[in-house]
Amino acid sequence: MAKFMDVHHGMAGITAEQLKQAHAADLRVEAGEGVHFEHAWADPESGTVYCLSEAPSKEAVQRAHNLAGHPADEVHPVPLSV
């Protein structure tokens, strides 16, 4: 398992409720891909959402987000953290 940070663009105007629902959708599908979405942070003004996950691969993160209905624009492995 490794850590990943993925980024969604084009989410301008996202509300707290929409972020909560999107994260809940991720949690419903993640087990099938062996992924766990730990946190998400959103900037409604620029329309950017960052998601931190633990996953077996970048592809697994992308598949889980696809299944949840919101493909990520970027998925970066982040093997280093402090």
Contact residues toward its own copies (CB under 8 A) are 3, 5, 14-16, 19-20, 23, 39-46, 48, 50, 52, 76-82
Nearer to its own copies, 20 or 28 (CB): 20
Nearest-approach distance from CB 78 to its own copies, in angstroms:
4
Nearest-approach distance from CB 66 to its own copies, in angstroms:
19
Nearest-approach distance from CB 4 to its own copies, in angstroms:
9
Q: Are 61 and 75 in contact (CB under 8 A)?
A: yes
Residue 64 tokens read as 């889980």
What's the per-residue H, E or C state across 4-27? EEEEECCCCCCCHHHHHHHHHHHH
